[in-house]
Amino acid sequence: MFPLHTQSPYLTPKKDTTKRPSAAELKRWNEMMDRELAALGKRIREHNYNQTSPKEEKQASSQSSDQEKAPLTRAQKQLACQERLAELKKEESTLENQEMAIQRQKTALESQDDWFEDYSRQLTLLTAELEGAMPFFLTV
C-alpha cells in the first residue's frame, strides 16, 4: 500500500519557498535590535530618574526656601560635624580591619613560600644523594 501523501495531490507537503536570512543578516539584525533596546532602556531610565512628582517638587522648594531663610545654628553645625566625625571613624576602623586582614594573608603567603623553599631544597639534596648512590645500586 502506498503512503497516504502519495495518493492525493492535496495531501502532499508543499515545498517551502520562503527566503531564510543568512547568519550574517541574523547577526546584524540582532545587533541592531540590541542597540535599539539599549537606547530605549536608557531613555526610560533617564525619564524615570529625572521625573519628579508635584509633591516632591513642592517639598524640595519649601525645604530650599527654609534653608535659605535660616542659616545653620552653632548647635546644628556641631551636630553635623559630630555625625561626620563618627562616619569617618567608622570608615577608618573598617580600613584598619581590612589592612590587618591583608597583612595576615601576606604573612601566611610568606610562610608558605618559606616552607616551599625549604621543601624544594630538601628535595634537591635527596635527589642529589639518590643520583650519587645510583651507581652503587647498579653495580650490586
Can you tell me whether residue 61 is helix, strand or coil? helix
Can you tell me whether residue 62 is helix, strand or coil? helix
With respect to residue 29, please indicate whether it lies within any of the assigned structural domains.
yes
112-131 average pLDDT score: 89
pLDDT tens-digit readout, 17-42 = 778 888 899 999 999 999 999 999 88
Domain count, the chain: 1
pLDDT reported for residue 3: 55
pLDDT reported for residue 58: 74
With respect to residue 73, please indicate whether it lies within any of the assigned structural domains.
yes
pLDDT tens-digit readout, 29-75 = 999 999 999 999 888 888 777 766 667 777 766 666 655 667 788 88
| N- to C-terminal Cα separation, the chain | 87
With respect to residue 34, please indicate whether it lies within any of the assigned structural domains.
yes
Rg (CA), the chain: 39
Structural domain that includes position 96: 25-139
With respect to residue 5, please indicate whether it lies within any of the assigned structural domains.
no
